[in-house]
Structure 1
Amino acid sequence: NDEAARAANNGALPPDLSLMVKARHGGCNYIFSLLTGYPEEPPAGAVVQEGLNFNPYFPGTGIAMARVLYDGLVEYDDKTPATTSQMAKDVVEFLNWTAEPEMDDRKKMGWKVMAVAGTLFALSVWVKRYKWTVVKTRKLVYNPPTTKAVRNPSSPRTETHTEGQGFLK
Structure 2
Amino acid sequence: MEIFAWIVILLFFAVGFVGLVYPIIPAVLFIFGGFVVYGLFFEFSDLPWWFWLIESLFVVLLFGADALANAFGVKKFGGSKAGLWGSTIGLIVGPFVIPIAGILVGPFLGAILAELIFNKSTIKQSVKSGIGSVVGFITSVFTKGIIQIIMVALFFLVI
Q: How would you bin the TM-score normalised by the shorter chain?
A: under 0.3
Tell me which of the two structures has the higher relative contact order, counting C-alpha pairs closer than 8 angstroms and 6 or more residues apart. 2
Pick the structure with more strand per residue.
1
- Higher Cα Rg, which structure: 1
Q: TM-score scaled to structure 2, two decimals? A: 0.27
Q: TM-score scaled to structure 1, two decimals? A: 0.26
Pick the structure with more helix per residue.
2
